């Protein structure tokens, strides 16, 4: 099989390919608010295109272990190693917090056992907070600009 | 090529295409391109086998509750996700092996692409797209169109046309890869207006690198090798981020400057290494492809000097080349 025969049809093929990639990628991105993030398998390649906000709203959990030490998760830099083996993850806490805020009780019920199982080896209770933070400050020192207690959970053993 | 005459005229009027045609006909080393194509398929098989080796881990840890098959693996809805996983991983490995062994035959390259697309679609079927292998997948798509020229005699006139077509498709893969970097850079520039007018941090803010790095470390819950350094010295991070934006935006220009291909491949590989060391953004696949396509680019003259390579750097080539010459003169 020898298609595309010569360099001109081959270059035309290349040109159409490149144009399609650019048009599909850019239009998918432009319409991202109304539809899918991408038109699979096309992609805009707008990776890290927006700067993260200096003040972000997110969720953290706090709990006190048997030794009386209070932990916060997601952990700031100095305490990341304390959670090296934990099944906890940033996205689990974030998605859980959003579900609680949005009143999505089914999603809350689905995620709660995973959170309880992750905290249970260290504590029998935890509290969910909605926080406003600067990511640099939070990562360096664990400080938040403001916080609001959402819900406290007792872990059933 | 009588019927192609009018088409040639049309094509030559498309911006960039006449220049591409000149590069391909004057610079293209078809022998070099032919040697690089199998390297692509050898690595594809290596990647497939490596993933197959992790199949048990995949089955044990994947959250199949969120598995929604993308259209290329529509058939996965008919069986269990676990069965689909096994079929896709084994199928990709076998098709990649066929493409690696029979890379001279289009039918094998088509099989290689189809198997790869299945795996790519699978990876992107868990709630969000997975971009690690995007450019590999699209290059595999484009290289289905490489004419089968390995057995064409050197003095065959039609063979000459096919060799030109072969180089054109190879060049297309290089252009596509560099285009993705330019699109990425364009995205960073386009967001500036809206973010700056809203009083938010933006691409040119001095804390741009700190914000990206701290956000990634927070989300991954991991301290990266160089992340803390850039949080400590914010301006250093800013300078590197701006350099990256430049590197990305102008990338597509470099495909028209073949003597700079090798150097640019190195810059982009270093960029990926940098994002790994600062943000743990893993792009191993793209780096391997950059090496295959650009480190021994078949459009680069042999024996081209470093200052000639530097001269092709968009916008900054002349001052860099002058500085390099100045340093050379100073040292002699």
Model confidence at B4, pLDDT cuts 50, 70, 90, reads low
Distance from CA of B303 to the nearest CA of A (A): 26
Q: Do B142 and A17 touch (CB under 8 A)?
A: yes
Q: Which residue of A has its CA nearest to B194?
A: A50
Residues of B with Cβ-Cβ distance to A41 under 8 angstroms: 70, 72, 117, 120-121, 124, 134, 137-138
| pLDDT over 70 at A4, yes or no | no
| pLDDT over 70 at A37, yes or no | no
pLDDT for position B213: 97
Q: Which residue of A has its CA nearest to B4?
A: A8
Rounded to two decimals, the pTM is: 0.91
Task: Give the range among A58-72, A131-145, B9-23, B97-111 with minimum mean pLDDT.
Answer: B9-23
From chain A residues 35-94, the ones with a CB under 8 A of any chain B CB are: 37-38, 40-41, 43-54, 56, 74-77, 80, 83, 89-91
Residues of A with Cβ-Cβ distance to B147 under 8 angstroms: 1-5, 10
Average pLDDT over residues B37-58: 96
Distance from CA of A81 to the nearest CA of B (A): 8
Q: Which residue of A has its CA nearest to B234?
A: A136
| ipTM value for the complex | 0.91
Model confidence at A1, pLDDT cuts 50, 70, 90, reads low
Q: Which residue of A has its CA nearest to B171?
A: A14
pLDDT for position B16: 84
Distance from CA of A56 to the nearest CA of B (A): 10
Residues of B with Cβ-Cβ distance to A12 under 8 angstroms: 7, 11
Look up residue B193 and give its two tokens: 């207006």
| pLDDT over 90 at B40, yes or no | yes
| Average of per-residue pLDDT values in chain A | 90
Model confidence at B301, pLDDT cuts 50, 70, 90, reads very high
| pLDDT over 80 at B279, yes or no | yes
More confident residue, A56 or B151: A56
What sign has the CA pseudo-torsion B38, B40, B43, B48?
negative
Percent of chain B with pLDDT over 70: 97
Residue B320, phi then psi, degrees to nearest 5: -65, -45
pLDDT for position A3: 63
| pLDDT over 70 at A8, yes or no | no
Percent of chain A with pLDDT over 90: 70
Task: Give the range among A4-18, A27-41, A114-128, B211-225 with minimum mean pLDDT.
Answer: A27-41
Give the integer Cα–Cα distance in Å for B116 and A56. Answer: 39
More confident residue, B1 or B7: B7
How many other CB atoms are found less than 10 A from the CB of residue B101?
14
Nearest to residue B116, comparing CAs of B79, B146, B141? B141
Average pLDDT over residues B26-33: 94
Q: Do A135 and B215 touch (CB under 8 A)?
A: yes
| pLDDT over 80 at B7, yes or no | no
pLDDT for position B66: 83
Distance from CA of B188 to the nearest CA of A (A): 4
pLDDT for position B241: 97
Nearest to residue A97, comparing CAs of A131, A51, A145, A66? A131
Give the integer Cα–Cα distance in Å for B121 and B88. Answer: 10
| pLDDT over 60 at B319, yes or no | yes
Model confidence at A7, pLDDT cuts 50, 70, 90, reads low
CB neighbour list of residue B93: distance below 8 Å, 6 or more residues apart: B45, B48, B49, B51, B52, B115
Q: H or E stretch including A128?
A: strand A125-133
pLDDT for position B5: 64
What is the 8-class DSSP label of residue B305?
A: -
| Average of per-residue pLDDT values in chain B | 92
Model confidence at A5, pLDDT cuts 50, 70, 90, reads low
| pLDDT over 60 at B1, yes or no | no
Give the integer Cα–Cα distance in Å for B104 and B126. Answer: 35
Percent of chain B with pLDDT over 90: 78
| pLDDT over 60 at A86, yes or no | yes
Model confidence at A157, pLDDT cuts 50, 70, 90, reads low
Please, are residues B199 and A71 in contact by the beta-carbon 8 Å criterion? Answer: no
From chain B residues 158-217, the ones with a CB under 8 A of any chain A CB are: 158, 161-162, 164-169, 171-172, 175-176, 179-181, 183-184, 186-188, 190-191, 195, 200-203, 205, 207-208, 210-212, 214-215, 217
Average pLDDT over residues B16-29: 91
B125 touches A: beta carbon within 8 Å:
no
| pLDDT over 60 at A107, yes or no | yes
Please, are residues B62 and B123 in contact by the beta-carbon 8 Å criterion? Answer: no
| pLDDT over 70 at B225, yes or no | yes
Residues of B with Cβ-Cβ distance to A54 under 8 angstroms: 200-201, 207, 211
| pLDDT over 60 at A35, yes or no | no
């Amino acid at each position: 099989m020898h298609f595309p025969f010569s360099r001109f049809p081959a270059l035309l093929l290349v040109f159409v390919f490149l144009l399609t990639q650019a048009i599909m990628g850019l239009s998918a991105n432009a319409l991202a608010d109304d539809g899918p993030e991408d038109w699979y398998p096309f992609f805009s390649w707008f990776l890290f295109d927006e700067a993260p906000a200096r003040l972000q709203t997110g969720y953290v959990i706090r709990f006190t272990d048997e030794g009386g030490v209070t932990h916060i998760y997601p952990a700031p830099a100095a305490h990341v190693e304390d959670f090296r083996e934990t099944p906890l993850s940033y996205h689990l806490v974030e998605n859980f917090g959003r579900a609680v805020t949005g009143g999505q009780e089914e999603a809350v019920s689905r995620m709660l056992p995973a959170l309880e199982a992750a905290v249970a080896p260290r504590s029998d209770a935890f509290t969910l907070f909605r926080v406003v933070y600067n990511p640099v400050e939070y990562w360096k020192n664990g400080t938040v600009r403001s916080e609001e207690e959402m819900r406290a959970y007792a872990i059933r053993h | 090529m009588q019927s192609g005459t009018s088409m040639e005229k049309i094509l030559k009027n498309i911006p960039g295409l006449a220049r591409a045609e000149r590069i391909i006909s004057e610079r293209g080393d078809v022998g070099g391109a032919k040697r690089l194509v199998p390297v692509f398929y050898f690595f594809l098989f290596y990647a497939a086998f490596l993933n197959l080796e992790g199949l048990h881990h995949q089955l044990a840890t994947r959250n199949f509750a969120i598995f929604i098959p993308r259209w290329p693996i529509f058939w996965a809805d008919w069986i269990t996700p676990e069965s689909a996983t096994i079929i896709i991983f084994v199928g990709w490995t076998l098709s990649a092996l066929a493409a690696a062994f029979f890379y001279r035959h289009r039918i094998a390259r088509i099989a290689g692409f189809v198997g790869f697309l299945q795996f790519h679609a699978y990876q992107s079927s868990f709630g969000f797209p997975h971009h690690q292998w995007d450019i590999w997948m699209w290059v595999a798509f484009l290289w289905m169109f490489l004419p089968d020229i390995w057995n064409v005699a050197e003095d065959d006139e039609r063979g000459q046309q096919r060799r030109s077509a072969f180089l054109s498709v190879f060049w297309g893969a290089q252009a596509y890869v560099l285009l993705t970097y330019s699109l990425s850079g364009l995205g960073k520039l386009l967001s500036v207006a809206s973010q700056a007018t809203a009083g938010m941090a933006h691409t040119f803010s001095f804390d741009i690198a700190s914000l990206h790095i701290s956000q990634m470390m927070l989300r991954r819950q991991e301290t990266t090798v160089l992340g803390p350094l850039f949080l400590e010295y914010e301006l250093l991070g800013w300078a590197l981020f701006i350099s990256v934006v430049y590197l990305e935006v102008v990338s597509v220009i470099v495909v028209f400057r073949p003597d700079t291909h090798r150097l640019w491949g190195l810059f982009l590989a270093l960029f990926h290494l940098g994002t790994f060391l600062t943000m743990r953004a893993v792009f191993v696949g793209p780096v391997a492809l950059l090496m295959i396509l650009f480190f021994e680019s078949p459009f680069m003259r042999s024996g081209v000097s470093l200052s000639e390579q530097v001269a092709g750097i968009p916008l900054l080539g002349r001052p860099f080349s002058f500085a390099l010459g100045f340093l050379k003169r100073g040292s002699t």
